[in-house]
Amino acid sequence: MTAKDNFDSHSSNNKASGMRNVIALGIVSFFTDFSTEMILGILPLFIVTNLGASREILGGIEGSAELISYAFRMVSGSLSDKLGKRKIFVLTGYGLSTISKPFFAIATGWFDAFIVRAIDRTGKGLRTAPRDALIADSIPESSSGKAFGIHRTMDQAGAIIGPMTAFALLQVIDIRGIFIVSLIPSAIAVVVLIFIVKEVAAKSRINTTMLSNVGNVLRQNRPFVLLLVISGTFSFGAFNYSFVLLKATGLGVGKNVIPLVYAVINVAYTIVSYPAGLLADRIGKEKVFVIGYAIFAVSSLLMVVIGGNSLYAY
C-alpha cells in the first residue's frame, strides 16, 4: 500500500467517523425534541388553566425564557471556541433540560413554571452553538450542507412525533403525567450523547479581537444593521406559539386535542422550509424574507378576526 493509499484510507475513516458523530447528534436532537415538544404542546394551557396565570404572565414567562436562551448562546459559543471544547457544553445543556422538565409535574404556581422553563432554556442556550460547532468540526466543509440537513431533519421529526405522542397519552393519563413521561426520551438523548458522540478537535478558534470591534463592524455594514433592526422589530411584535394554542381553545378545540394543533404547526414548518430555501435561491433571499413576514402578518390578522369554527385553529 502506497503513502497515498494510506492517506486516502485515513481520510475516509475520519469522514465516516465524523458522519457517525453527526448522526449521533441527530439522534440526540430527535429524542430531545421528542421530549420538549411533548411538553410545549400542553404547557401554555397548563400554565393558564392549571396554575392560574394570566395571558400576560404567560407572555412574560415565554419572553424571558427566550431571552435567557439567546444570552447563554453567546456565552457558550464564545467559551467553547476559546477552550476548543464542545462536548462539555453540549452535555451540560442537554443535562439541564433533561433534569428540569419533569419538575413541571409538581409546579403549584406560575412562578414555579417560570423557574423550570428558565432552567430548561438555559440548557438550550448552553448547548446550541457548541453543538452546531461540533457538527461543523466533525465533517469536511464540503459536506456541511448534508450534515446539517441530516441533523435538522431528525430534529424536526422529533418535533412532530412529540406532540402527537402527547395527544395519545392525554387520552389515558393527566397533563402532569406527560411531564414525567417526557423524561424518558430526554434521558435516552443524554445516554447517546455520553457514550456515542465524540469530542473532536476544533477546526479553528474565534479571533477574540473581532468581538471587541463589533461597533466598527456594525458601522461599516449598514444593510446588516437594517436587517437586525427589522428582525428585532418583528420579534418584538411577533406572538408566541403559546397564544396560537390558547386561541385554539377559544375556538372550541378540546384540551386533549391541543397537541395536534401544535403538531400541525411543526409539520407546516417542516414542509415549507426546503421549498422556501429553493425559492430563495431562485428569486432572491430578500423577496422570500418579505414573503415570510407578509404571511405572518396575514396570520396575525386572522388571529384577531376569525372565530366560531375550531377548524380555523389548524
pLDDT at position 241 is 82
What is the pLDDT confidence band of residue 14, given thresholds at 50, 70 and 90?
Answer: low
> Could you identify the residue written with the cell 430534529?
155
- Greater pLDDT, 103 or 265: 103
* CA atoms within 13 Å, Cβ hemisphere of 169: 21
**Half-sphere exposure of residue 26, counting CA atoms within 13 Å on the CB side?**
18
The one-letter amino acid at 19 = M
Return the minimum-mean-pLDDT range out of 5-14, 54-63, 73-82, 260-269.
5-14
Burial 66-98 (b: 16+ CB within 10 A, else e): bebbeebbeebbeebbeeebbbebbbbbbbbbb
- pLDDT tens digits, one per residue of 176-190: 999 999 999 999 999
Query: How many Cβ atoms from other residues are within 10 Å of residue 230's Cβ?
Result: 13
Q: Which of 100-114, 202-216, 249-263 has the highest mean pLDDT?
A: 100-114
Distance of alpha carbon 203 from the chain centroid: 25
CA distance 260 to 314: 9
**Mean pLDDT value across the chain:** 86
The span from the CA of 38 to the CA of 158, in Å, is 9
Angle at 294 between CA 292 and CA 298, to 5 degrees: 120
Residue ranges per structural domain of the chain: 13-201+214-313
pLDDT of residue 4: 45
pLDDT at 206: 52
pLDDT per residue as tens digits for the range 207-220: 555 455 566 666 77
pTM for the predicted model, two decimal places: 0.84
Name the band, by pLDDT with cuts 50, 70 and 90, for residue 10.
very low
Q: Provide, rounded to the nearest whole percent, the portion of the chain with pLDDT above 90.
A: 51
Mean pLDDT lowest for which of 54-68, 73-87, 258-272, 275-289? Answer: 275-289
pLDDT mean over 242-266: 88
DSSP notation for 163-208? HHHHHHHTTTS-HHHHHHHTHHHHHHHHHHHHHT------S----H
With a CB cutoff of 8 Å and minimum separation 6, the contacts of 253 are: 261, 310, 313
Per residue in 145-173, pLDDT (tens digit) is: 788 888 988 999 999 999 999 999 999 99
CA torsion sign, 305 to 311 to 313 to 314?
negative
Q: CA-CA distance, 310 to 314, in Å (whole number)?
A: 8
Element (H, E) at 105: none
Question: CA-to-CA distance for 98 and 122, rounded, in angstroms?
Answer: 12
Q: Is 3's pLDDT higher than 60?
A: no
Contact 193, 68 (CB under 8 A): no
Arithmetic mean of pLDDT, 13-36 = 89
How many Cβ atoms sit within 10 Å of the Cβ of residue 201?
Answer: 8
More confident residue, 314 or 105: 105
13-201+214-313 — its CATH code?
Answer: 1.20.1250.20
Region for residue 8 given its phi and psi (left: phi exceeds 0; alpha: psi -120 to 50; beta: otherwise) = alpha
Mean pLDDT value across residues 36-42: 95
